[in-house]
Chains A and B, each alone.
Chain A
């Protein structure tokens, strides 16, 4: 029975949310699962049997490789991120705050562009190995990255940031008096760190480890460009699809999803567990100044070198984008530099088109994300209804699922007419990519909106209604204006990620509607790195602008937005 207006309103808001989630998250996942059970026209677990007992063991090997790379990525990222967090938050030396901001630079590099930069920096014909070779007169390059080492280095570079940010936040939450108490009881620095500080950081470290593990299980761009013959599961899905082995692709997707989702559940359980974080008031970060002048300068110099290493990929992209195509062929180093690539980008309609496509599709997807995100989040945070945790989980699923799986899900769901696509076949049309971008970023926008809505006291809404405002008026005039900054920062992030999105694009794009990432891949295949890099620079610029806007106008730190 519908009891009153408020219940009715909740239901009206809930209907579109549930419809969208069922149509574009739940139904596609179930379709994939169903597909994985199809074997030679009948329904069985035969595909799973094949996966695990297949003679060539390719699938099992790929699964193991994915796990292996993910574990190594966690270790490598932790080894960089944790010490950095401790040094930057506990010691004061000239330039500290600049270095600590620079430490999140890897975020400002879209994954595909980042991998590309690493190839040109450290690959076979990379600038650094060759520079060292020439400098020391060696007869071959001293090192090169590729295969496992390549993937690992790229992962470490991009993923240490997660450790850096979570551990930094945890350090700043530790009440200094705890450590002071330990000193007061006679413990030395070493003891205090291992017995007091480190245990207090463990929850953050575990959380970051789980996150990095999940992200590297799902990682696609790095293996795609660097793996060589090395097999990882996310890539195997792509190959199965290209080869037309759809049932196998479905099976691989389901298995990869199971791994990811169990990690998500484990992480949720871990974070909801009561831990010994404390809420004492008025904690300020306390940093000890580095007094020893030698130490001080060692730190500053190391910091500068670190920042240079962090920035090298960005510079490489910039440099490459200034090299006109066809001028750098057999030479070790490029010789001609001009803005030809940028000119072509804006003058040649064929070269401009992918950029236009990406922007258009990202705008469509992001607008949908904005509207859906605000409604879904409002219902989830401010309204009571039965089945809330189910909706909550549906919202989080696209976050747990690797992008490749989301792409496959959409293929299985919409390569035939369905009620959810109004009887149309979406695969092969313009709409499938915006839909994929939308689905991928549902969790990001909903979560960032949840964060601001949870901050908003219920009594604000009640006060407006007490003063006579109807719900919709209250929503428009009071709630939206207050939450908009937080919502926009999440939405802008979704926008820039959509512009550069690669894994779902490569599964779903159509020739007439190629996004920027696909064009980068094509240009790389044709060895037109200049043009590819110019596309990359456009993305980097977009990201910088967005982060700047978020920071300047919404007062939101880049690290918060993630």
Chain B
């Protein structure tokens, strides 16, 4: 068991910089997820932890030990590869036993440990099978057992579920979580599936183009995205570019300048907005999740109530997605299905309310954002 510290790490392949200025601390026993779009450097980071790449700059530590240049076979990490990388010329048993044989575990202990690991992944009946005769899910469990049986300090999983179908994926998710809790092992999980990341992780690091944008619990990442990339990568969000007019103790007044005349919005002043505004004078937006917006039939009393017209209505079952045109800005609003028909329809005039506490001021970092 170990914590992992990544200090100021950079990794360059020739001229491309795959990872830059990375600082992470992963706690002992934590289930930590790397999330990000394809090519953002998740695998590169994982492989630096496993020892298959050495950082161009910076330090990797397990606990307090400097592991930066330790070869992979001396790191005691258990890795589950995206394609499982099972040894095709060995049986299930031999695959799982490989790491123990390398460690010269006596044959009596070895058998017990292997069977125990196979039991944990519910494959004890398959120990004599050739790995090519297993289904995808079974192969994945062999890969897990093989990584766990050596009692690694750190478990590394690189998109282990991406080759499986949806149902099996759900099952395996539960299985991985169960095993992680059983072994209480520090785990790093790589995925580009945000639902997977939100539902499984203790904490998540969100990457894009080799930069880590935010580290936090799933709720923090979802509710308080650090910038527009994180906000739009995870879940649906409405981003409105605004100009700050007035900063007060409780609230911030901003204007939305899309229509003929500016629209005033009141945003709750959470904690660090003052600093944020100083650093990013121009590139600011307010964000709000679609489910946080209320649709009203008539003007009520309150702040941030705007008049709009329904552009389209899409039915998703439990949720109805309504696009509302408000001062030339399309807002996505998710409303719970109330089982009433014909309530929303295209062209209907409505009022929307953007609750001030749900509005967050965030910096816009991507060039082509709203």
What residues of chain A have their CB less than 8 Å away from a CB belonging to chain B? 3-6, 457, 459-460, 462-470, 473, 477-478, 481-482
Contact = CB atoms under 8 A, between A and B. Distances in A.
Given A468-B103, A469-B102, A473-B102, A463 B85 contact: yes
A459 B69 contact: no
Nearest to A461: B85
B69, B75, B79, B87: most-surrounded residue (chain A CB, <10 A)? B87
B209 interface: no
Contact of A481 (B76, B85, B89, B102): B89
B72 A465 contact: yes
Interface in B39-76: 50-52, 54, 69, 71-76
A460 to B, nearest CB: 5
Contact of B99 (A457, A467, A470): A467
Interface string B72-104: 111111110111011111000000001100110
Nearest to A464: B98
A460, A465, A468, A477: most-surrounded residue (chain B CB, <10 A)? A468
A509 B56 CA distance: 56
B192 interface: no
B203 interface: no
Nearest to B103: A468
A299 B156 CA distance: 61
Contacts of A6: 71
Interface residues of B, number: 29
B72 A462 contact: yes
6 contacts: A459-B81, A459-B85, A466-B78, A467-B98, A468-B150, A477-B98
B89 A469 contact: no
Contacts of A482: 87-89
B72 A457 contact: no
A419 B98 CA distance: 44
A469 B73 CA distance: 6
B81 A462 contact: yes
Given A468-B103, A469-B98, A457 B85 contact: yes
A466 B69 contact: no
Contacts of A473: 102
A457 B88 CA distance: 11
Contact of B54 (A4, A463, A465, A469): A4
Contacts of A469: 73, 98-99, 102
B98 A462 contact: no
A459 B50 CA distance: 12
B332 interface: no
Contact of B102 (A4, A5, A462, A468): A468
Nearest to A481: B89
B87 A460 contact: yes
A465 B85 contact: no
Task: Give 10 nearest A-B pairs by CB, closest first.
Answer: A467-B99, A459-B85, A463-B85, A459-B81, A466-B79, A465-B72, A468-B102, A469-B102, A465-B73, A481-B89
A468 B73 contact: yes
B228 to A, nearest CB: 35
Contacts of A3: 54
A519 B146 CA distance: 58
B79 A457 contact: no
A463 B143 CA distance: 9
A459 B89 CA distance: 15
B73, B76, B147: most-surrounded residue (chain A CB, <10 A)? B73
B73 A470 contact: yes
Contacts of B76: 468
B51, B86, B98, B147: most-surrounded residue (chain A CB, <10 A)? B98
Interface of B: 50-52, 54, 69, 71-79, 81-83, 85-89, 98-99, 102-103, 146-147, 150
A459 B83 contact: yes
Contact of A467 (B69, B88, B102): B102
Contacts of A464: 87, 98
B143 to A, nearest CB: 8
A477 B97 CA distance: 13
A469 B71 CA distance: 11
B265 to A, nearest CB: 51
Contacts of A478: 87, 89
B12 to A, nearest CB: 14
B85 A462 contact: yes
Nearest to B98: A467
B159 to A, nearest CB: 12
Given A459-B82, A462-B85, A465-B52, 7 more contacts: A462-B50, A463-B79, A465-B72, A467-B150, A470-B73, A473-B102, A482-B89
Contacts of A466: 50-51, 72-73, 75, 77-79, 147
A7 to B, nearest CB: 10
A282 B195 CA distance: 33
A462 B52 contact: yes
A5 B81 CA distance: 23
B82 to A, nearest CB: 8
A1 to B, nearest CB: 13
A480 to B, nearest CB: 10
Contacts of B147: 466-467
A353 B370 CA distance: 87
B52 A467 contact: no
Contacts of A462: 50, 52, 72, 79, 81, 85
B69 A4 contact: yes
Nearest to B79: A466
A4 B71 CA distance: 9
A477 B99 CA distance: 12
A6 to B, nearest CB: 8
A469 B51 CA distance: 13
Contacts of A481: 89
Contacts of B52: 462, 465
Contacts of A460: 85, 87-88
A463 B81 contact: yes
Contacts of A457: 83, 85
Nearest to B89: A481
Contacts of B86: 463
Contacts of B87: 460, 463-464, 478, 482
B52, B74, B82: most-surrounded residue (chain A CB, <10 A)? B52
A60 to B, nearest CB: 50
Given A457-B85, A467-B102, A5 B71 contact: yes
Nearest to A470: B73
A466 B87 CA distance: 13
A186 B69 CA distance: 66
A482 B83 CA distance: 17
A346 B149 CA distance: 58
Nearest to B149: A467
A477 B73 CA distance: 15
A459 B81 CA distance: 7
Contacts of B73: 465-470
A467 B86 CA distance: 12
A460 B146 CA distance: 13
Nearest to A5: B71
Contacts of B78: 466-467
A488 to B, nearest CB: 14
Contacts of B54: 3-4
Contacts of B89: 478, 481-482
A3, A5, A459, A473: most-surrounded residue (chain B CB, <10 A)? A459
B43 to A, nearest CB: 11
Nearest to A477: B98
Contacts of A463: 79, 81, 85-87, 146
A385 to B, nearest CB: 14
A3 B55 CA distance: 12
A467 B146 contact: yes
A457, A465, A466: most-surrounded residue (chain B CB, <10 A)? A466
B75 to A, nearest CB: 8
B99 to A, nearest CB: 3
B75, B85, B99, B150: most-surrounded residue (chain A CB, <10 A)? B85
A467 B82 CA distance: 16
Nearest to A6: B71
